[in-house]
Amino acid sequence: MKYKFIPKTKWHLSALAFGCMRFKNEETAIAAVRKAIELGVNYFDVAPAYGRGTAEAYLGKGIAGLRDKVIVTAKSSPGNGGTELGEYQPERGFGIRTADQVRWQIERSMRILGVDHLDLYQLWSCHSPTVFQGAIMPGGFLDGVLKAKEEGLVDYIGLTTHSPAADIIRYLKESPYEFDMLTIQFNPLNTAQRPVLEYCAERGIGVLAMNPLAGGRLARPAPILRRIAAEAGCASMVEAALRFIIGQSDLLAALNGITYAEHAVQGAAVVEKGPLPPESEEKLVAGLNELYRSIDLQQLCTGCRYCGECPQGILIPEVLELFTNLRIPSLAEEARQGLAEKRAAGLSGYDPAACVACGQCEQKCPNKLPVSQLMAAAAGLAPFAGATS
């Protein structure tokens, strides 16, 4: 495993970081965590809401007896998982507004994880200035975390965000405490946060890349993606994307959602190959840009699912992915066939015309996607006509 040094924390962080949001069950989760540690992965990112509330407990069992080998992070948010302040939901980690509430949240996570302190506690889902301002209010979220840090419950403080670069830099400048770590979106399809990397590098703030596979979009076994990866000298797009991330000098690691032990094995094997050569990186980025040149990258769904369940039963991330692929010539036929197979199987949730523009999902979307507009546009495409609602 390859590691990078973080000046502010003095950690040597593994180039592959473990995101705990995709656990399926206790047995496979524990096996995945232990295999990752065996392979040298030492950074684990978890939240109360992950795994429908089970991830912290699963991670705790996975690291039992191995605490000295891992960096354990936890998090919560004053927000609702989107861009607004949330209602108090301690079991999910949202709407955490006061110092007392965040103290309770920290102690809860420690108890479930089975640890006596957290290496890093993060202001989670800070996706808008509204959420940020809610976090730094006197007597609020940040004051509670700072108090816990003073008492030794938390070693360092981090921030996770999907905000635009300018907003992120403003958060870092305006925060009463200079964050030690930052987690942002970054992948070969989305490099808009480079100004943030430069700003953090000057200050020794460690930065991790979440969504290294663009919300799973780059993990699809599409022939066109395999071709682009091959041109960059990689066996798969997953390999290409991860090696792209670890090749960025100002990024510490790829924070990858890992479900099974074999995912950890695959990720570690890729990291061992090292960064892409400069010419391969250029080919990768150029190929992906050409592929998606007809698509507004700012309107790509990352599949984070913060939008929640649609009242009309629409599978929002799935429909938006189909809508994207139907507009890319190289992927359109595959998308049409996939939609046809879902119809034939009688699967529901694939009719964008069922959208009533209630706006519920748009309020929660951290990427501020105009979901209602996208659904209306998708409904106008012939392949969706007559889809099972």
Gyration radius (Cα) of the chain, Å: 21
pLDDT of residue 227: 83
CB environment 235-250: b (16+ within 10 A), e (fewer)? ebbbbbbbbbbbbbeb
Taking the C-alpha atoms of residue 252 and residue 12, their distance in angstroms, rounded to an integer, is: 9
- Closest by CA to 191, choosing from 231, 243, 244, is 244
User: How far is residue 78's CA from residue 135's CA, in Å, rounded to a whole number?
Assistant: 6
- For residues 106 and 112, is the Cβ–Cβ distance under 8 A? no
**Quick one: which of 292, 295, 303 has its CA closest to 162?**
303
Cβ atoms of residues 19 and 264 within 8 Å: no
Domains of the chain: 3-291 (3.20.20.100), 297-384 (no CATH)
Provide the residue-wise pLDDT of the chain in tens; the chain has 389 residues.
999 999 899 999 999 999 999 999 999 999 999 999 999 999 999 999 999 999 999 999 999 999 999 999 999 999 999 999 999 999 999 999 999 999 999 999 999 999 999 999 999 999 999 999 999 999 999 999 999 999 999 999 999 999 999 999 999 999 999 999 999 999 998 899 999 999 999 999 999 999 999 877 788 676 778 889 999 999 999 999 999 999 999 999 999 999 999 999 999 999 999 999 999 999 999 989 877 776 775 677 877 888 999 999 999 999 998 998 888 877 789 899 999 999 899 999 999 999 999 999 999 998 789 999 999 999 999 888 755 55
Q: Are 220 and 197 in contact (CB under 8 A)?
A: no
Instruction: Tell me the C-alpha distance between 367 and 311, whole Å.
Output: 20
Beta bridge partner(s), residue 153: none
Torsion of CA 296, 298, 299, 301, to 10 degrees: 130
Exposure string over 271-286, b if 16+ CB within 10 A, otherwise e: beeebbeeebbebbbe
Buried b (16+ CB within 10 A) or exposed e, 151-171: eebbbbbbbbbbbbbebbbeb
CA distance 237 to 225: 6
